Structure formats: structure tokens, C-alpha cells
Structure 1
Amino acid sequence: MTKESLVNFSKMAKPYLAAIFLQFGYAGLTIVVKFALNEGMSPYTYTVYRNLFAAVAVAPFAIIFERKVRPKMTISTFLKIMVLGLLGPVMQLDLFYSGMQYTTATFTASFYNVVPAITFILAWILRIEKVNMRKVHSQAKVLGTVVTIVGAMIMTLVKGPNIGLPWTKHTDLIQTAATALHSQQDILKGAVMIIVACFFWACFIILQAITLKSYPAGLSLTTLICTAGALQGSVVALVAERKNLAAWALHWDTKLLAMVYSGVICSGVTYYLSGIIMKEKGPVFFTAFNPLSTIIAAIMGTFILADQLDLGMALGAVGIMVGLYMVIWGKKHDNVPPESIAGNRVVPVDELPSTLVKPPTNQEPSDTTTTVVAGDEAV
């Protein structure tokens, strides 16, 4: 492999590796926060501290590395940042973790996979995502979205027998007692909260992609979003926990670990890396990797939290992952570079035989005006 090929491969692989890294962070977050919620952590004060820790962690890097490239703040950008701070760091997190209190970590992580479907629909409506129903890859994206939504409904409405895992059998009695604390109505309530949180997160991702076009300083944007989220979240938390001042107390325990970990990794790093990924691949690509965190969280949840898997959850999770990877397949064909197409295989211009590369007839040959003949068509 030549040095140039290695550089090209590295450049191509970066968004994939970054997206995978973020899913590992999300999976660990689900386990840590669920454990802290079981210990009595308030989801409202948690979101405030999470955004505060994120802003403090990212701000120094924004000041140092973007002091010369940070664009001027406009009224339009300021309003977008305030809306972003409300959508993601406040509404999405509050609803998501409030819903998690009524469900398990595995259920929450699995159900959250409807985010790519919602993001795809919103991007389609806003014409950010290209859809041509005469093309197979566009049909795959649409069908994958439908399969994802059906899988989420199966997860919510279908229970079925438990899938006995060897390392969770000794916890059956504990899980039975814990399940008795929440009725089916509570589970549905949690599911509704999570699906609304998914909608807010999808809106956040779309708006973030739009904002980055006019305010491309990713570190500064992350700092401002988290700061706005902490301020707005404080108002919500003061109302929600007005009779529980102890919810604001910080101690050296799992709750503090959840706040710091989620703030630095899952808000600060995630907002910044997601912006980089979306600049290159778009918002639908970024959210399409959510199923990976489901698998990781499910495995970790059975070991750490003794979560039980039932048949409905397993079938729904499989449906979600199949649907989402249909979307990924469609997205892959969306991103075929326009340099050339020889038969059914994409071929870079510099790899084509010289007989297929012709300069324009009425212009001087140049690098920017090269015509590539592929089959019977010129590109």
C-alpha cells in the first residue's frame, strides 16, 4: 500500500472510527447513569451538572485553538445556540433520563435507536437528505426507517418470556421484585418520554448541522451550547426539585461519576466530534451507528445491572438494527463520489485507463476540466 493510499484510507476511516468511539461512550454512559438513578440521583439536577462540567472541560480548548478562527456572533447564531441548548442539553436529557427511571438500561439503549429514523425523516422533509424512490438505495433507506419504527413498537408493546442468560439466573428473584415496582403503565410512560426525547435529539442534530455551516468553530459552539443548556436547565431543575434541595448536593459517589463522565465524554467530546462527522457525512450517517451502543449496553447491562432480556425486547432490537443498517447501506450509495463510474464499480479518475480520459474538445487540457468517459456517458 502506497503512502498516498494509506492517507486516503485513513481519511476515509476517520468518521467511522469516531462514530464507533462515541457509541462506546454512550454505552458506558447508559450503565453508569442508570446505576446512579437507582441510587436516587435527580435527572433534572444531573443534566445541569452534566452541561456545566462539559462547558468547563471544553472551554479552555476553544479559547486556545479557536481564538483566531472563531467567527463573529450574530443574532441568528445566538438564537440557534439558545435553541440548541434547550433541545439537547435540557429537553432531551430531562425526558430521556426521566423515562429511564421506569425502564432498564438495555430497554432505553435499544429504544433510543429510533433516533436515526426520526433524523432521516426530518432531513428528508428539510431536503438535507436526498431521496429518489426510483433508486434501490433510496428505497432501502425508506424501508429501513419503517423497519426501525416497527422494531421500536415491538420492543415497547411485546414482552414474551425471559431469555435466560447464565450469568443472570441467580438474579431472577431480584429482578422480579424490581419489576413489580413498575407496572406496564409505567413502562409505557417511560417509553413515551424516551420517544419524545429521541425527537428532540434528532431536532438537535439537524439544527447543529445547520448551525455549523455559519459557525464552523466546533469547540466554541460546543462550549456555548453546554453553557446555554446549563443555564436553561437550572430553571427547569429549580422548578422540578423546588421541594428537594438535597438533589443539588454533590458527594464523592456514583452520582458525581455519572455527571463528570457524561459531561466530559458524552456532551463535550460528543458534541464536538458529532459536528466533525456531520460536516463530512451528514446527520443521518452520524445517528446510524446507534445500534452499536445497544449491543454494548445490553451486554454490560446483563453483567453489571443484572438486566433480564425478554423475547419482545430481543426481537425489537434485531428489527431496529436490521432497519438501521439498511439505512447505512443506502447512505453508502448516496456518497458515491462523482469522479467516474465504470460499469457498476466506482473508479477514481487517476486509476482509469488513459483511453477513457479525454480533454474537452474546445478547451485546453487542465486538471479541473478533465472529461471522464465511463461506458457510453461522459462524467
Structure 2
Amino acid sequence: MADGLLPSLIMVIVQFEFAGMNIFSKLAMDTGMNPFIHVAYRQIFAFLFLAPLAYFMERGKRPPMTRPVLVQIFFSSVFGLTMNQITYFVGLKNSTPTIACALSNLLPALTFVLAVAFKQESAKLKTLGGQAKLVGTLVGVAGAMVLSMYHGPVVPIGESAIHLSIANSSANDPSQGKGNFIGPFLVIISSLTWAIWFIIQAKMGDTYPAPYSSSALMLGMATVECSIFGFIMVPHPQEWSLFPGIRALACVYGGVACSGIGVCMMSWCIQKKGPLFVSVFSPLLLVIVAALSWTFLHEKLYLGTVLGSVLIVMGLYSVLWGKTKEFEPLQPHKELQDTKEEDIEMN
């Protein structure tokens, strides 16, 4: 099960977790919450949740900590949490959840390039599996670009019956996310730092197979980094208030469900399936956020959203099929090689 459906199921759950984070975080920042403060609180709540869990679940099972592993955890905290979340949430504040999620789908392409460069993935462009993996990545990115750049006519599916009063002001503001280059640019940088985190995690998983403990240490370091950075950027204590309640909800949910549980889930999947497998599930986030935005924020569903979502799902399954196809000839080839080695030893 661990080598079959379980990693895929876990990654789908992770995308639902992050979709909720996008909605809650956007609502919190629309109330005036500073994104640097939001990121700092998120690390604090995540660390408080995960540290005792890691202590009890991996007590007596943790391998000895070495200096190279500690350095890897530090850089994981810098790229995967501090830089990634600061650039993403500042970008989200200056755009919309749909635009932020759409541009985040550059992640599979960036991860694919870095994984090949660091020899964690083989391009194998002459094989059917390698070609499917490359084409699927490009199709997924194209779908994200279509969704973010092309609206088209409104799809006549009616309006959601769910009405949230807190969402009315932000959902009905047509100026949000338009004509602002800073937001999309920072989301792209966020995707690059996330891809770097995938590469570091893949290397660290081979030498320190304790995902809860490594994630807790990473969150502890990120808590210090983000808190210092937050106080430098926002030195006024009154701005660190968690009221109205949506601010507290967004910080606790983002810390526990995403930075805590979600990071551990992804670390486990990276160890089982590699960084590219984890990254190609990110396009599903865009589809989920589009549905949640229509349901709770009353965003209209455009033809471009439908077309882009279809391309994204097609690209996702193309990459997954390609990865599966790559491993099919490996076992027979290995058995043939073992047979030849046995014949040589007998002779």
C-alpha cells in the first residue's frame, strides 16, 4: 500500500489542506493582517503542534544527528518555510488566490529542472515515459497560464447558496490582483524556493529518515527566522493582534494543518516517491481553490478556468503515467543482468 495508492492519496489530502489555507489566509489579510506577521504566527503554531508529536512518535527511533544533516535542516527552513512562505503570502496579498495558485503551478517544471540537474531524476527523453513526463509538465504549466491569463465568458452555473459576510468585501472588489506585478513575481520566487526545498528534502531523507523530528527542527528554526524578520518589518506590537477571529483561525489552521501535518506528509512522500512525484500534485490545488472560491467567496467561474483546469489535470496524469512507465522495464532488465552475472560466476 505504501508503494501504491497511499502516497497519491496523501498528496491529494495535502492539496485540500493547502486550498483551505489559501482561502483563510486571504480573508485574514483582507482584514488588514500583515503577511509577515501571519507567516511568523504560522511557524509558531506549527512548531508547538509538531514538536511534542515528533518527540513521542520517534523516541528511540531517531538516528544520531550529524552536522551535515543539521545544515540540511537549516537550509530547508530557510528555503522551504521562511523564504517560501514570506514571498508567497506577500504575493497572495497583492494578487488573488486564483492567480497565486495558478503561478504556483510552475513548481513541477522548476522541480523537474532542478531534479535533473542534481541527478535525482533522469530526463530519459528518448523513452516514452520520459517524454510523457516532460509533455505532462509543460501541459500542466500551460493550463496554469491559460487559467490565469484568459477569462473568457462566464460559465452559467449559477451562484453558490453559501454566503459568508466576511468574504463579501474581498470577493466583490474587482481591483484586487490586477495591474500589480509584485504579487505574481513573488509567487514565482516562492515556487523556486519550494522546488529547492524538495531537492534538499530528498537528499536529507536518505541520511536522516525521521520526518517528524526533522520537520520539527525545521519549524523551530523557521519560527526564530520568521519572528525576527517579522519584528524587523512590523515593530508595532498592536499590529500583532489575532483579532478579528479569522486571523487566529488562519494562523492556527496554516500552522497545524499545513506547516505541521502537511509538511510531514510531503516529507514522507518525498522519501517514498521522490521530489517530482510530490510536486506534480500541486496543479490539483488550483482546481480545488477555484471550486472553494466559487463556493465561499462567490467568484465567478470563467471558461478559461475550466479549460485551464482540464489541461492541468491532463498534465498531472501524464507525468504520473510517465513515472510509472519508466520503472516497467527496470525489473526485467535487472533480472536479465543478474542472470548474466550468475552465468559468468558459474563459468
- Does 1:229 find its partner at 2:222? yes
What is the one-letter code of the residue matched to 1:46? H
How do residues 160-175 of structure 1 correspond to structure 2 at under 5 angstroms? Answer: 160-167=152-159
Deviations 1:53-104 (A, max 9, x none): 1111111122123232223332222222121111121111111111112332
Deviations 1:30-74 (A, max 9, x none): 222122122222211111111111111111122123232223332
TM-score (norm 1): 0.80
Distance 2:95 2:56 in 1: 42
Question: Does the C-alpha gap of structure 1 residues 167 and 337 become closer, same or farther in structure 2, counting only changes over 3 Å?
Answer: same
Partner of 1:179: 174
- Does 1:21 find its partner at 2:13? yes
Distance 2:14 2:84 in 1: 18
Question: Does the C-alpha gap of structure 1 residues 304 and 135 become closer, same or farther in structure 2, counting only changes over 3 Å?
Answer: same
| Aligned counterpart in structure 2 of residue 299 of structure 1, from 291, 306, 319 | 291
| 1:175, distance to aligned residue in structure 2 (A) | 7.5
SS at match of 2:4: helix
What is the one-letter code of the residue matched to 1:276? W
Partner of 2:41: 49
| 1:359, distance to aligned residue in structure 2 (A) | 12
Report how many residues are paired: 339
Q: Name whichever of 284-293 and 314-323 sits farther off.
A: 314-323
| Aligned counterpart in structure 1 of residue 206 of structure 2, from 199, 205, 213 | 213
Distance 2:191 2:315 in 1: 17
What is the one-letter code of the residue matched to 1:179? P
| 1:16, distance to aligned residue in structure 2 (A) | 1.6
Contact 2:3 2:272 in 1 (8 A): no
Distance 1:229 1:120 in 2: 26
| 1:27, distance to aligned residue in structure 2 (A) | 1.6
Partner of 1:352: none
Contact 1:98 1:190 in 2 (8 A): yes
Distance 2:226 2:284 in 1: 29
- Does 1:330 find its partner at 2:322? yes
Distance 2:331 2:177 in 1: 57
Partner of 1:344: none
Question: Does the C-alpha gap of structure 1 residues 88 and 159 become closer, same or farther in structure 2, counting only changes over 3 Å?
Answer: same
Partner of 1:191: 184
SS at match of 1:184: coil
Gaps of 5+ in 1: 1-8, 342-348, 350-356, 365-379
Partner of 2:109: 117
| 1:210, distance to aligned residue in structure 2 (A) | 1.0
Distance 1:53 1:217 in 2: 21
How do residues 198-347 of structure 1 correspond to structure 2 at under 5 angstroms? Answer: 198-242=191-235, 244-251=236-243, 253-336=245-328, 338-340=330-332
| 1:267, distance to aligned residue in structure 2 (A) | 0.9
Contact 1:15 1:277 in 2 (8 A): yes
Distance 2:177 2:270 in 1: 40
Which of these two proteins has the greater Rg computed from alpha carbons? 1
Deviations 1:146-185 (A, max 9, x none): 22333333344334344344016999x97895113x4732
| 1:200, distance to aligned residue in structure 2 (A) | 0.8
Q: Name whichever of 90-99 and 323-332 sits farther off.
A: 323-332
Contact 1:116 1:324 in 2 (8 A): no
Deviations 1:259-295 (A, max 9, x none): 1111111111122111211111111111222232222
| Aligned counterpart in structure 2 of residue 69 of structure 1, from 33, 43, 61 | 61
Distance 1:76 1:114 in 2: 30
Percent identity (aligned): 30
Distance 2:188 2:60 in 1: 40
Question: Does the C-alpha gap of structure 1 residues 176 and 363 become closer, same or farther in structure 2, counting only changes over 3 Å?
Answer: closer
- Does 1:102 find its partner at 2:118? no
Deviations 1:225-268 (A, max 9, x none): 111111111122122213x4323123471111111111111111
Question: Does the C-alpha gap of structure 1 residues 259 and 140 become closer, same or farther in structure 2, counting only changes over 3 Å?
Answer: same
Q: Give RMSD over aligned pairs.
A: 2.9
Distance 2:3 2:136 in 1: 28
Distance 2:85 2:157 in 1: 31
Contact 1:62 1:219 in 2 (8 A): yes
| 1:124, distance to aligned residue in structure 2 (A) | 1.2
Q: Name whichever of 29-38 and 222-231 sits farther off.
A: 29-38
TM-score (norm 2): 0.87
SS at match of 1:237: helix
Gaps of 5+ in 2: none
What is the one-letter code of the residue matched to 2:21? L
Q: Name whichever of 297-306 and 287-296 sits farther off.
A: 287-296
Q: Which has more strand, going by share of residues?
A: 1
Question: Does the C-alpha gap of structure 1 residues 237 and 176 become closer, same or farther in structure 2, counting only changes over 3 Å?
Answer: closer
What is the one-letter code of the residue matched to 2:324? K
Distance 1:14 1:115 in 2: 22
What is the one-letter code of the residue matched to 1:80? Q
Q: Name whichever of 41-50 and 102-111 sits farther off.
A: 102-111
Q: Name whichever of 225-234 and 141-150 sits farther off.
A: 141-150
Question: Does the C-alpha gap of structure 1 residues 252 and 315 become closer, same or farther in structure 2, counting only changes over 3 Å?
Answer: same
How do residues 148-163 of structure 1 correspond to structure 2 at under 5 angstroms? Answer: 148-163=140-155
